[in-house]
Chains A and B, each alone.
Chain A
Amino acid sequence: MVYVELLVSTLTQGLIYALLSYGVYITYKILDFPDLTVDGSFPLGAAVTAVMMIGGMNPYLVLVVAAIIGAVAGLVTGLIHVKLGVRDLLAGIITMTGLYSINLQIAGSNMPIDRSIDTIFTAAPTMMLFGDMSLMHRKFIVSIILAVIVKLLLDLYFKTKSGLLLRAVGDNDILVTSLAKDKGTVKIVGLVIANALVALCGSVVCQEQRTFSSTMGTGQVVFGLATVIIGTTLFKRMGFVKGTTAVMVGSIAYKICIQLAINFGLPANLLKLAMAVLFLIVLVLGDRKKGGASRA
Chain B
Amino acid sequence: MADRSETEVLLEARNWKTEGHRVALATVVKTWGSSPRPAGSHLAVRDDGFFLGSVSGGCVEGAVIEEALDVMKTGLSKVLEFSVTNERAWEVGLACGGTVRIFVEPVQ
Chains A and B bind each other: no
